[in-house]
Amino acid sequence: MALPQIPSFRLDGKRALVTGASSGIGLGCAAGCAQAGAEVFAMARSADKLETLATEARAAGLNITAVPLDVTDIDALKLWLDGQPAFDVVVNSAGIARHGPALDARPDDFDAVVDVNLKSAYFLASYTAQKMIDEQIEGSIITISSQMAHVGGIERSVYCATKSAVEGFTKAMAIEWGPHKVRINTICPTFIRTALTEATFNQPERIKWIEDKIKLGRVGEVEDIMGAVVFMASDAASLITGTSLLVDGGWTAG
Ligand SMILES: NC(=O)c1ccc[n+]([C@@H]2O[C@H](COP(=O)([O-])OP(=O)(O)OC[C@H]3O[C@@H](n4cnc5c(N)ncnc54)[C@H](OP(=O)(O)O)[C@@H]3O)[C@@H](O)[C@H]2O)c1
pLDDT of 114 = 98
Averaged confidence pLDDT in the chain: 97
Q: In this structure, is residue 200 part of a structural domain?
A: no
Ligand 1 centre distance from Cα of residue 26 (Å): 7
Which of 17, 25, 69 maximizes ligand 1 atoms within 8 Å of its Cβ, making it the mutation to test the pocket?
25
8 A C-beta contact, residue 74 and residue 120: yes
Atom of ligand 1 nearest to the CA of 20: 43
Q: In this structure, is residue 170 part of a structural domain?
A: yes
* Rounded Cα gap, residues 79 and 132, in angstroms: 16
- Average pLDDT for 77-92: 98
- How many structural domains is the chain composed of? 1
Owning domain of residue 45: 15-194+222-247
Is pLDDT of 87 > 90?
yes
* Rounded Cα gap, residues 172 and 178, in angstroms: 10
Q: Read off the CATH number of the domain in which 138 is found.
A: 3.40.50.720
Ligand 1 centre distance from Cα of residue 17 (Å): 15
Q: Give the model's confidence band at 39: pLDDT under 50 very low, under 70 low, under 90 confident, else very high.
A: very high
Read off φ and ψ for residue 116, nearest 5 degrees. Answer: -80, -55
Share of the chain above pLDDT 70, in %: 100
pLDDT in tens, 115-138: 999 999 999 999 999 999 999 999
pLDDT in tens, 158-195: 999 999 999 999 999 999 999 999 999 999 999 999 99
Q: In this structure, is residue 201 part of a structural domain?
A: no
Q: In this structure, is residue 3 part of a structural domain?
A: no
Q: Which of 41, 87, 122, 159 is catalytic?
A: 159
Q: How far is CA 79 from CA 42, 75, 232, in A?
A: 16, 6, 27
| Count of beta carbons in the 10 Å neighbourhood of residue 141 | 29
N residues, the chain: 254
Q: Give the model's confidence band at 155: pLDDT under 50 very low, under 70 low, under 90 confident, else very high.
A: very high
* Rounded Cα gap, residues 219 and 137, in angstroms: 36
- Average pLDDT for 74-103: 98
| CB of 95 closer than 6 angstroms to any ligand 1 atom | yes
Instruction: Reduce the secondary structure of the chain to three states and give it as a string.
Output: CCCCCCCCCCCCCCEEEEECCCCHHHHHHHHHHHHCCCEEEEEECCHHHHHHHHHHHHHCCCCEEEEECCCCCHHHHHHHHHCCCCCCEEEECCCCCCCECHHHCCHHHHHHHHHHHHHHHHHHHHHHHHHHHHCCCCCEEEEECCHHHCCCCCCEHHHHHHHHHHHHHHHHHHHHHHHHCCEEEEEEECCECCHHHHHHHCCHHHHHHHHHHCCCCCCECCHHHHHHHHHHHCHHHCCCCCCEEEECCCHHHC
Q: In this structure, is residue 86 part of a structural domain?
A: yes
Tell me, yes or no, if 159 is annotated catalytic: yes
How far, rounded to the nearest angstrom, does the alpha carbon of residue 200 sit from its chain's CA centroid? 20
Q: In this structure, is residue 2 part of a structural domain?
A: no
| CB of 22 closer than 6 angstroms to any ligand 1 atom | yes
Ligand 1 centre distance from Cα of residue 20 (Å): 5
pLDDT of 217 = 92
pLDDT of 68 = 99
| CB of 32 closer than 6 angstroms to any ligand 1 atom | no
Q: In this structure, is residue 118 part of a structural domain?
A: yes
8 A C-beta contact, residue 97 and residue 113: yes
pLDDT of 206 = 87
Is pLDDT of 105 > 90?
yes
Ligand 1 centre distance from Cα of residue 212 (Å): 25
pLDDT in tens, 59-81: 999 999 999 999 999 999 999 99
Is pLDDT of 4 > 90?
yes
pLDDT of 205 = 87
| CB of 46 closer than 6 angstroms to any ligand 1 atom | yes
Q: In this structure, is residue 6 part of a structural domain?
A: no
| CB of 92 closer than 6 angstroms to any ligand 1 atom | no
* Rounded Cα gap, residues 227 and 26, in angstroms: 13
Tell me, what amino acid is at 192?
I
Ligand 1 centre distance from Cα of residue 95 (Å): 4
